[in-house]
Structure 1
Amino acid sequence: MNRRLLFPLALLPLLAACRSHEVLPPDQYNLSGTLYGDWGAGPRLRLALVGSGLPNVFTNNSAYAQNVVPSTGSAASRSFGFDLPSFPNLVGIYQVIAFDDGNNNAKYDIGETVARNRLWLIYSPTDTTTPAVNIPAQFPWAAGEEAIPSMSVKRGWNVYDRAQRLSDSNPMAASKITGYDIYR
């Protein structure tokens, strides 16, 4: 192959990686909600998708597109948006957590201030029945808890509210998730 042709082709991945990512209003992401609570002065708030793929492969990823915006009228609430991956690395159970990125490395590290809710995001490539799953030790704030009982889920993302009884509508399949509120 011609060298003059190879050089421009080699630059394509670099150019694609350098393009800017547009920051959207929170409701334009496929998961959105409100973050409530006091984070102190000048927090570096970020969101991360954390969870456990089956069988027990820990995920901690904050590299997805996101936006946290202070709400008007209250310093204790912020709107946020987060893009869930179309195909996460593994079938499993996940949560989007909020954290104060104290060391500014864009990744949740044990010891950083964190907040979460009682909603689990379950990803499945097919309609299926999941086994019961306990939270692994990598989640120090909830290790050993039953994350999900055995349940029927649909293909794609499903939302399971642990505060509610298992029913025909819990869990529910969702392509856009709103009201995923997180309290601190």
Structure 2
Amino acid sequence: MRSVLPALLLLSVVLVACRPETVRAPDAYPLSGTVSGRWGDSPRLRLALVGTGVPGAVRNDSAIGQNLEGNGLSGWQFGFELPAPGVFNVAGVYQVVAFDDANNNARYDLGETVARNRKWLVVSPVAARLPEVTLPELLGGGEVLPAMTVRSGWNVYDQSQPLGNANPAPFTTLTSYDLSR
């Protein structure tokens, strides 16, 4: 019996680790906001984390925990699970975008209808001064974000505000990350 007990304990740990992530209310995620705009009839809306690491590792990931709920007024509330900052071994500049998954492949593809904003999610494994970043084609290309100082973890840079001590700002929970088209 003693030899079976460790195997059963290991099996239960594996099963708990493999269970599907539960869907939570949108405001229970680290990143939340609204999606608005014209999307046509019966859109297949999804969210994706897209961007680039410094230097140049492009990411397009929609297989991240998320919840997108219609509010009945042709808008949606969403919640999005950001990866733990420790997952990234380099700094990166990202956005969460909403897109109409027209080909139903659960991945944002160029040409699909998309909504985004002017807030950039900057992640760094350590506090650092980051160089300016030219964005990949996936995010419109050619746009340059200025050199900036960030803290370890997730930071938000709002392009509509001046770069300074409070911009970019570190966060663990960010609400009102609204997306529109």
TM-score, structure 2 normalization? 0.88
Paired amino acid for 2:159: R
Query: How far is the alpha carbon of 1:21 from its aligned partner?
Result: 2.2
> In structure 1, how many angstroms separate the alpha carbons of the residues matched to 2:76 and 2:83?
22
Long gaps (5+) in structure 2: none
Paired amino acid for 2:149: S
Query: How far is the alpha carbon of 1:40 from its aligned partner?
Result: 1.2
> In structure 1, how many angstroms separate the alpha carbons of the residues matched to 2:140 and 2:37?
20
Change (3 A) 1:15 1:171: closer
> In structure 2, how many angstroms separate the alpha carbons of the residues matched to 1:133 and 1:14?
42
Query: How far is the alpha carbon of 1:168 from its aligned partner?
Result: 1.1
> In structure 1, how many angstroms separate the alpha carbons of the residues matched to 2:178 and 2:16?
36
Identity %: 48
Q: Is the 8 A contact 2:51 2:136 kept in 1?
A: no
Paired amino acid for 1:78: W
Give the one of 140, 143, 147 matched to 1:142: 140
> What does residue 42 of structure 2 align with?
42
Query: How far is the alpha carbon of 1:20 from its aligned partner?
Result: 2.9
> In structure 2, how many angstroms separate the alpha carbons of the residues matched to 1:124 and 1:45?
29
Long gaps (5+) in structure 1: none
CA RMSD of aligned residues (A): 2.2
Query: How far is the alpha carbon of 1:42 from its aligned partner?
Result: 1.0
Question: For residues 51-90 of structure 1, what are the structure 2 equivalents within 5 Å?
Answer: 51-72=51-72, 74-75=73-74, 77-87=75-85, 88-89=87-88, 90=90
* Count of aligned residue pairs for this structure pair: 177
Paired amino acid for 2:170: A
Cα offsets for 1:138-172 (capped at 9, x unmatched): x2x521111x2111111100000011110111110
Paired amino acid for 1:57: A
Paired amino acid for 2:63: A
> What does residue 28 of structure 1 align with?
28
> What does residue 152 of structure 1 align with?
149
SS in 1 for 2:141: coil
> In structure 2, how many angstroms separate the alpha carbons of the residues matched to 1:53 and 1:66?
22
Choose 88-97 or 152-161, whichever is displaced more. Answer: 88-97
SS in 2 for 1:27: helix
Cα offsets for 1:42-68 (capped at 9, x unmatched): 111100000001110100001111001
Question: For residues 119-138 of structure 1, what are the structure 2 equivalents within 5 Å?
Answer: 119-137=119-137
Paired amino acid for 2:125: P
TM-score, structure 1 normalization? 0.86
